[in-house]
Amino acid sequence: MKHMLSIILTGIVLTLCLGCFSLKNKDFIGSAVIETPTYQVTTTEQGILLDVMKDEGMAVQPGELIAVVDTIPLLLQQNEILATMAQLDQTIASKKADYRLRKSISRALTVNIAA
């Protein structure tokens, strides 16, 4: 029984001693877990990234530019919308002129019938 107890104690002491030494990396001091808040970063627009200034895990400040999105597709879309709006303005103007013409013809016919 004493022999078994001394074997167990020797095993525990050897485990503790070997656990305190690092044979692989002499510069290693220890490790720890640090918890910090993380945030999900989203974009205001979708698109192809032309440049990324930060890598995952790097700290950023509020308002700091982290990436540049290709704006050419957005510019083309804006130009298309502006052209459509101009075309709609012309259609509205044409419809108003047509309405005024039909209204004046209708009045003229009404006056001729009444006379």
Kindly report, residue by residue over 77-100, the tens digit of the pLDDT: 999 999 999 999 999 999 999 999
Cβ proximity of 49 and 69 under 8 Å? yes
Kindly report, residue by residue over 22-72, the tens digit of the pLDDT: 556 667 667 778 787 777 777 777 888 999 998 888 888 888 998 888 989
pTM here is 0.47
pLDDT of residue 16: 63
pLDDT of residue 28: 67
The verdict on residue 81 lying in a domain is yes
The verdict on residue 87 lying in a domain is yes
The verdict on residue 80 lying in a domain is yes
Looking at per-residue pLDDT, the higher value among 81 and 19 belongs to 81
Average pLDDT over the chain, rounded to an integer: 82
pLDDT of residue 22: 52
pLDDT of residue 99: 95
DSSP 45: S
The verdict on residue 11 lying in a domain is no
Q: How many domains does the chain divide into? A: 1
The verdict on residue 79 lying in a domain is yes
Confidence of residue 9 (pLDDT cuts 50, 70, 90): confident
- Burial category of 47 from C-beta neighbours within 10 Å (exposed 0-12, middle 13-18, buried 19 and up): middle
Domain limits for position 104: 72-115
Confidence of residue 12 (pLDDT cuts 50, 70, 90): confident
Is the dihedral angle over the CA atoms 28, 29, 31, 35 positive or is it negative? negative
Distance in angstroms (rounded) separating the CA atoms of residues 66 and 61: 10
